[in-house]
A and B are shown apart, each in its own frame.
Chain A
Amino acid sequence: MLMTFFKLLLKGVSNLLANRFEFALTLTGVILVSFLGLFLLLLAQNLQMIITQDKSRLQFEVYWKKDAPVQAIEKEWEALSGLDGVVEITTYPPEKGLRVLAESLGESVDLSWFAEQNNPLPATAVITFALDQHLSQNQARDYLKKIRAFPGVDTVHYNPFELDTAGSWIRFSRTVLWPLMCLLALLAGLIVGNTIKLSQLHFQNEIDVLKLVGGSRCYIMLPLLSGGAFLALVGGVLGLLLLKFTQVSLESLLNVPPLWLEVHFLSWEQIILTLCIMTVVAVLFSWVNIRQ
């Protein structure tokens, strides 16, 4: 029984390979469609990454009490950098703060007399937190509360507009990019399915004859389903290889000064999911084809 099952599955593959020209044409179609769909998915995903990495962040300017001991401040900086959600922390001891201020004001202003004992600047730090996708006002309030909990901290400032901007980007990503990615996956699946369906039309006569001479549904269906799955799987893998090649080429083109744009490839989960979806869609369309 199991032997017959595998024989029928193999029959589907051998049927495909027997018609090499049609197989090559269909395979090319499946590769190109899967490549195009995946390429658009790659673009959307990278755009999503740029948005979440660069835009959905919130910066806090933290000022320490003037009389707080330096060692205690350094300890607090260390503790702050270990907080959940911190992606970057830039610290400014008073002397560094003065130097940065002098540099920003230019040569016309001399702040050197502030050095040593007269430096009026407190120790400061700019802490960048990543905002998660379920952005809420509470998130900013939580971060603020955590920072204020440190005994040396005097005042904390953040720009509420930054929070609004991040919120807009996250909403954009949620309402446009994710649905777009799903739509692309669906579109690619439908085109792949239809390509396979069309390629199976020339088996229609064979299906008719097999039915007329008493072929069971299983005997007729299994080779066609396995052929469709094989075609989608091979086409999907080759489409992914083509996409990897394109991603490497794009990265070498974009990840250079002044752009420094990283192009990330799809994750393993996405790759496996893509192949699974393509195979399932192909099997589904083959099944519909036989039913019709």
Chain B
Amino acid sequence: MLVSVKKLSHSFGSHWVLKNISFQVRERECVILTGHSGAGKTTLLQILHGAQPIQRGVAEVAGYHLNKLTQRRLPLLRRQLGVVFQDFKILPQKSVGENVGMALEVRRMPRAQIKRRVNAVLRGVQMEQRADLKCARLSGGEQQRVAIARAIVVNPKILMADEPTGNLDETLSLRLVQIFKKFNEHGTTVILATHNKQVIQELPHSQLIDLSTHD
């Protein structure tokens, strides 16, 4: 199993966002985390990439036992993942190319190779022409595409995305879903957190985990 979650619970103060969540994700699988606003989709993704500590339960991602994961080993887990954050986490003062290239730079990849891969990925999200533009000058939708490009440029074992179509129009949303689908077909495990019904319909073979129904 690539991801294994058992009896996971998480609270913010006295409010329990996640309660006894259990699921497993096999390699090459596509999983959609859905549920109403505040159901804990974002929190669950944050736990899975080590941005939130585990309060109760057990979780394992890409061979890393999250309950025992030290700060020193956390980057090793994150290098297996590509994450698209809800708030993009894009650096506005850096260019599109630099933002996407960051994920490869931390892996100490040679500069020429970084440039090649960044250009290829930007072409995929239709941002190639804007590679040298500062991200501060991009629209919300464009920033989101940069965030997606940064997540997929590393060829991750698991691609996680938190509301990836949130700021995109219908055409771009569909195009994006196709990108995720393609990645999934090529062997990447995909975990999407979304409440967009269109996205769910476009990925009919996915494992659907509705966090609203968990108790």
Q: Which residues of A contact B (CB under 8 A)?
A: 4, 19, 205-206, 208-217, 219
Contacts and interface: CB of A to CB of B under 8 A. Distances in A.
A209 B91 contact: yes
Nearest to B108: A4
Interface string B60-103: 00000000000110011111010101000111010000000011
25 contacts: A4-B108, A205-B89, A205-B91, A209-B91, A209-B102, A210-B102, A210-B106, A212-B49, A212-B51, A212-B78, A212-B83, A212-B85, A213-B78, A213-B103, A213-B106, A214-B75, A214-B77, A214-B78, A214-B81, A214-B103, A214-B106, A214-B107, A215-B75, A216-B75, A219-B106
Contacts of B102: 209-210, 213
A217 B72 contact: yes
Contacts of A219: 106
A213 B79 CA distance: 7
Given A205-B91, A206-B91, A215 B106 contact: yes
A209 B87 CA distance: 12
Contacts of A215: 75, 106
A212 B103 CA distance: 9
A269 B108 CA distance: 41
Contacts of B77: 214
A131 B17 CA distance: 75
B150 A213 contact: yes
A205 B89 CA distance: 8
Nearest to B103: A213
Contacts of B90: 209
B159 to A, nearest CB: 13
Given A206-B91, A214-B103, 13 more contacts: A208-B89, A209-B89, A209-B91, A211-B78, A212-B51, A212-B85, A213-B78, A213-B150, A213-B154, A214-B79, A214-B81, A214-B107, A216-B75
A211 B76 CA distance: 11
A216 B106 CA distance: 7
B109 to A, nearest CB: 12
- Pick the most buried of A4, A209, A213, A216: most chain B CB atoms within 10 A of its CB: A213
Please list the 8 inter-chain residue pairs (A to B) with the smallest Cβ-Cβ separation, ordered nearest first: A214-B78, A214-B79, A215-B106, A213-B103, A214-B75, A216-B75, A209-B89, A214-B106
Nearest to B78: A214
Contacts of A216: 75, 106
Given A212-B49, A212-B78, A217 B71 contact: yes
Contacts of B78: 211-214
A208 B108 CA distance: 18
Contacts of B83: 212-213
A210 B94 CA distance: 13
A200 to B, nearest CB: 14
Interface in B9-60: 49, 51
A158 B109 CA distance: 80
A105 B203 CA distance: 117
A109 to B, nearest CB: 89
A211 B102 CA distance: 11
Contacts of A205: 89, 91
A217 B75 contact: yes
A31 B128 CA distance: 43
Contacts of B89: 205, 208-209, 212
Nearest to B150: A213
A239 to B, nearest CB: 29
A210 B90 CA distance: 11
Nearest to A209: B89
A208 B85 CA distance: 12
A211 B150 CA distance: 14
A163 to B, nearest CB: 62
Nearest to A206: B91
A211 B75 CA distance: 7
A122 B91 CA distance: 90
Contacts of A4: 108
